[in-house]
Amino acid sequence: MLELLGNHTVQTVTLGAVLLGMVSGLLGSFAVLRQQSLLGDTLAHAALPGVCIGFLIAGTRHLGWIMAGALVTAVIAALFVQVVTRYSRIKMDAGLGAALSVSFAVGVVLLTYIQGHASASQGGLDSFLFGQAAATRPSDLWFMGGVTLAAMALVALMWKQLKLVTFDPLFAGSIGLRVGVLETLLTAMIALAVVVGLQMVGVVLMTAMVIAPPVAARQWVSRLEHMVFLAMLMGVISGVGGVLLSAGVAHLATGPVVVLVASALVTLSLLLAPGRGVLWSWLKLWREQRSIGQRQMLVTLHKLAEHHEDPYYPVERSMLDSFYGVATSHILRRLQARGFVVPASHMRQEGPHWALTDAGHNEARQELERMDWNQAEV
Amino acid sequence: MKREKRHEPDLALHIEDLTVAYEGKPVLWDIDVNIPPGVMAAVIGPNGAGKSTLIKTVLGLVKPTAGHICIHGYPPRQALKRVAYVPQRSSVDWDFPTTVVDVVMMGRYGHLGWFRWPGRRERRRAMDALSAVGMEAFAKRQINQLSGGQQQRVFLARAMVQDADVLFLDEPMAGVDATTEKAVVALLQELRDQGKTIIVVHHDLQTVRDYFDWLVILNVRVVAQGPIPEVYTGENLRKAYGGRIALLDPDSSGETPDAVPREVVN
């Protein structure tokens, strides 16, 4: 796979993927935390009519015009959603959905019009639907790099404002921040990021680049700055991984492979991340259930011994089984391993008996104290 | 910018002829409110009375249709650093990736320059406030590990580091445990004794007399306002709540009744 990196096209595409991963991870973090994941999707689909209009104005497949057109229609769609949700009863999700489908419909109509009327060789606009990474040219990298740099500068300079508006917009407004202006600025930057990714990943899949890296990153961190950094890293990994995978295996479309790598990162993070991962919570639940059984058993034996005024009072296991309604031998064996109970030979004809050790009594007393304390706190 | 002359500078909060409407429906109708400095005031009223809207309008979060507002004689835009705000706990996503001390430091953001990052001094202030609310041990915790009462204490600490003269709190006792409620009330009373003005949207009529010394009863219009003994009467409460209230001792000239709202207030 390393010899691939010697290839000029692959170099360009890889660098493009790095930039795309950085900018979408950075801005996607704020979109996801503001619960506007769908925003990226709407912006991407709304860019399609702009792509077509840019083509019609320029008369050829001129990237500058196409990008400018895409940006303009994406921003118009975003403003439409903002205005509609503020001044009508339509909720955010419905507004985003409406803007998405209407603008995508307009885009496809324009696309078919161009393909029917413009000279066929000039077409190829449908590559914007699913992306065509190989079409990335070195000159495009300047545009992508500029956008990435601008986004990073914006976030670095206005870090505390963006953080506050994302976490607590009401409080942000109460200390005089222009919440609407900041939200519009963020949306415009996300639109820029989407436009950057159009050529590479395409209209349909671009939203995954905005959502997946931040969602994966969120699983592993507990601070916003770490989340943003990790999301950028995950974006870069997905971008570069996708490019190299698709270039290594002939005839695979780059955009979808990039998205698949990003989705794999999300799946892994959802499963494995400590603290928040699914496997982690299963493990925690299982441990807690096990320890609760043991703690209960200690307290029961302790109380029985107290009741019989014999600290080493041997208790028959079958009695414990019927008291708990489940088999208790595995609990007792684990307690024995921890040195809290010992098997006691009481009467040989009868079943196995168990008695609490001194350490076991200590542990039980501590457990009782903890319970009292918890009750007092509530 | 032209510096306006101070209007009613002797009042912590002065509201005149204020009307606020959502989609053509009035939420607050031509209200006048005057709250002197150094009191702890409750704003009460039935659901939909405009209590939260009143606070949001004063803070500039909602645009009024008519009327004007002064805080210590200044229009709200010029009094930003004089006010602190504790929004309803449920208005933020507590799964946001940040720590307790970070949230408290947000109370200093308004005092920092536009591009300044919070530093050591802000952190120290935040830690002091956290120990005042009994949460210093939680400073480095993720906020998604907090209970409702702890969330409220963190929000209160954030308001304390704002160094404000007037504190606005939106339902700070909603859904918190009894210990936290007592601690919050004690802290607010201490702040009042330092000369600050505390204005609280409150929903529990039974505790109004114990906690507060000033009362604004609201139901789209102002039903009554003033010191608790004069305003907390059966007649005023009935005017605001109508049939939705059960007064435990409805006769005896209606003074200081024990009122239990029949509706479920959330």
Q: What ranges do the domains of chain B cover?
A: 13-261
pLDDT at B253: 45
B140: which 2 tokens?
């480095």
What residue ranges of chain A are covered by domains with CATH 1.10.3470.10?
2-276
Alpha-carbon span A318 to A182, nearest angstrom: 68
Q: Do A35 and B112 touch (CB under 8 A)?
A: no
Distance from CA of B240 to the nearest CA of A (A): 28
Q: What CATH number has the domain spanning A2-276?
A: 1.10.3470.10
Q: Which residues contact B57 (CB under 8 A, 6 or more apart)?
A: B18, B20, B28, B63, B64, B69
**Residues of A in Cβ contact (< 8 Å) with B103:** 167
Q: Do A224 and B96 touch (CB under 8 A)?
A: yes
* Contacts within 8 Å (CB) and 24+ apart, A329-333: A331/A293, A331/A294, A331/A297, A332/A297
**Residues of B in Cβ contact (< 8 Å) with A168:** 87, 91-92, 106
Distance from CA of B252 to the nearest CA of A (A): 38
A158: which 2 tokens?
């206005």
Q: Do B91 and A174 touch (CB under 8 A)?
A: no
Alpha-carbon span A246 to A254, nearest angstrom: 5
Q: Do B91 and A170 touch (CB under 8 A)?
A: yes
Measured in degrees and rounded to the nearest 5, phi and psi for residue A118 equal -65, 160
Contact between residue A296 and residue A328 where contact means Cβ atoms under 8 Å apart: no
pLDDT tens digits for range B82-103: 999 999 998 999 999 999 999 9
Q: Do A224 and B97 touch (CB under 8 A)?
A: yes
Beta bridge partners of B168: B85, B199
Beta bridge partners of B85: B168
Q: Is B256 left (phi over 0), alpha (psi -120 to 50) or beta?
A: left
Element (H, E) at B71: strand B66-71
pLDDT tens digits for range A318-350: 788 888 777 788 888 888 888 888 887 666 666
For chain B, say whether A230 makes contact (Cβ under 8 Å). Answer: no
Measured in degrees and rounded to the nearest 5, phi and psi for residue A372 equal -60, -45
Alpha-carbon span A69 to A73, nearest angstrom: 6
Q: Do A176 and B117 touch (CB under 8 A)?
A: no
| Strand spans (E) along B150-266 | 166-170, 197-201, 214-219, 221-227, 245-247, 259-261
What residue ranges of chain A are covered by domains with CATH 1.10.10.10?
280-377
One pLDDT digit (tens) per residue for chain A, 378 residues: 556 667 788 888 899 999 999 999 999 999 999 888 888 889 999 999 999 999 888 887 777 888 899 999 999 998 888 888 878 888 888 999 999 999 999 999 998 888 877 665 455 777 888 888 877 888 888 888 998 999 999 999 999 999 999 999 999 999 989 988 998 888 888 888 888 888 888 888 888 999 999 999 999 998 999 999 999 999 999 999 998 898 887 778 888 899 999 999 999 999 988 878 888 888 888 888 888 888 888 888 888 888 888 877 888 877 888 887 777 888 888 888 888 888 876 666 667 788 888 888 888 888 888 776 655 443
Query: Could you say which of B59, B96, B162 has the minimum Cβ distance to residue A167?
Result: B96
Question: Which of the four CATH numbers 1.10.3470.10, 3.40.120.10, 3.40.50.1470, 1.10.10.10 does domain A280-377 have?
Answer: 1.10.10.10
**Considering only alpha carbons, which residue of chain B is nearest residue A219?**
B97
Q: Do B109 and A35 touch (CB under 8 A)?
A: no
A307: which 2 tokens?
């009741």
Cβ within 8 Å of A, B 55-114: 56, 59-61, 77, 80, 83, 85, 87, 91-93, 96-99, 102-103, 106, 109-110, 112, 114
pLDDT at B260: 55
pLDDT tens digits for range A292-302: 888 888 888 88
pLDDT tens digits for range A130-187: 888 877 888 888 888 998 999 999 999 999 999 999 999 999 999 989 988 998 888 8
Looking at the domain covering B13-261, what would its CATH class be? Answer: alpha beta
Residue for token digits 């976490």? A167
Average pLDDT on B180-193 reads 91
Q: Do B93 and A33 touch (CB under 8 A)?
A: yes
**Residues of A in Cβ contact (< 8 Å) with B199:** none
User: Taking the CA atoms of chain A, what radius of gyration do you get in angstroms?
Assistant: 31
pTM of the predicted protein model: 0.82
Beta bridge partners of B227: B214
